[in-house]
Structure 1
Amino acid sequence: MSDIDKHDEWLPIQIAPDDCDLELGRPHKTGILPLTFPCRRRAGVWFNVWAGEAVLISPSHWRIWRSGV
């Protein structure tokens, strides 16, 4: 598996790192539905990096945010 493939893999939200840009996802009938903006967790709360607002969904998965992809 290449490094690019590893970045595309969804990981469980329970092991998400704090204070770095992540792509969050939630279950959908077709698989994991990604949010369209980067998020960061601070003090246990997920925030939309671009808007500076709390994310009001409970994500189930994460992967590294890759801007421009």
Structure 2
Amino acid sequence: MWRPISSAPSGRNLELAVFDEDGQHALVFPCVKDREGWRDAATGARVDIRPTHWRDWKQGRAPANTGNSHPSQS
């Protein structure tokens, strides 16, 4: 279940939903929230994104494309 980004916890691997020119999509890699923003959970590299929703990252989860639908419907 997707949750609003305002409730995203720090220090956990999360799957994030973002908007781009093609609509809304889930990132294909886990991210971690820290005091400075978002980082790629695997590399620690800063990720310059503005996600709209989050859910726990499930190991082995196939990348989810939320298309143009609202993430809470996925």
Structure-2-length-normalised TM-score: 0.71
Give the root-mean-square deviation of aligned CA atoms. 1.9
| Aligned residues with identical type, % of pairs | 38
Structure 2 segments unaligned to the other structure (5+ residues): 62-74
Higher helix share: 1
The equivalent residue for 1:57 is 49
Distance 1:54 1:23, change over 3 A: same
Q: Deviations over 1:8-52 (max 9, x none)?
A: x11100001111110011136887410011111111411001121
TM-score (norm 1): 0.76
Of 13, 20, 42, the match for 1:21: 13
- Alignment partner of 1:43 is 2:43: no
Structure 1 alignment gaps of length 5 or more: 1-8
